[in-house]
Amino acid sequence: MGTRGFVGIKRKGKIGGKYNHYDSYYSRLGKEVVDVYFKNKFLPYLEEKDEEYDENAEFLYDGLFCEYAYVYDEDNDRLEIYRGFFNKPQVFSKGHIGNEEELYTHLIFIVDKKIHSKKDVLKAFEENEKANDDSFKEGTKPEQYPERKVINICDYCFKIIPVGKMYCSKECERNAMVREI
Ligand SMILES: [Zn+2]
């Protein structure tokens, strides 16, 4: 069985894209997408992909089956990295419909080639692989983002921020606390 995922594009805030059936994890599809992103060849890459284009990106929000997703933010020339299988919704999550145990896709980190190198991204991928080896086996993946030790975003508003902080501002920290309650 393949590791399913999604490769898409965000235009004016709206995401559309294509389903990917096999090897969607970081070390395979992730590396491939990062490579075309840094070569400015994401658009032809997505076009060539042999799946139907879904303008509503439904599979992206299916946190049970969509294990990894890569979305090119065309307006900002950035690459967004997502993972599924989270127990709690994130701000943008729609969750999986028709499943007792709802699982969600989260935005993990955002790559900006004006700030980050390809090496940074691969290092962020490795942090995830190191952290999740055991929890995958147990089926209890923790609600955390080890990738953010290398490339960090605000946990509330998703702005790119320096490593080590959780929020970009006091305001985001307060908003996040309200959200928890
Ligand atoms: Zn923020």
Model pLDDT for residues 120-173, shown as the tens digit of each residue = 999 999 998 888 666 555 555 545 899 999 999 999 999 999 999 999 999 999
Residue 116 in any domain: the answer is yes
Going from the Cα of 153 to the center of ligand 1, the distance in angstroms, rounded, reads 8
Residue 73 in any domain: the answer is yes
Residue 177 in any domain: the answer is no
Compute the distance between CA of residue 161 and CA of residue 153 in angstroms, rounded to an integer: 5
Going from the Cα of 163 to the center of ligand 1, the distance in angstroms, rounded, reads 13
Residue 179 in any domain: the answer is no
Residue 69: give the domain boundaries.
Answer: 5-150
Going from the Cα of 148 to the center of ligand 1, the distance in angstroms, rounded, reads 14
Residue 65 in any domain: the answer is yes
Residue 172 in any domain: the answer is no
CA 169 to chain centre: 22
% of the chain at pLDDT higher than 90: 72
Split into its structural domains, the chain has a count of 1
This prediction's pTM:
0.90
Q: Distance of CA 97 to CAs 59, 104, 163, Å?
A: 11, 10, 34
Going from the Cα of 156 to the center of ligand 1, the distance in angstroms, rounded, reads 5
Phi, psi angles (nearest 5°) of residue 79: -120, 125
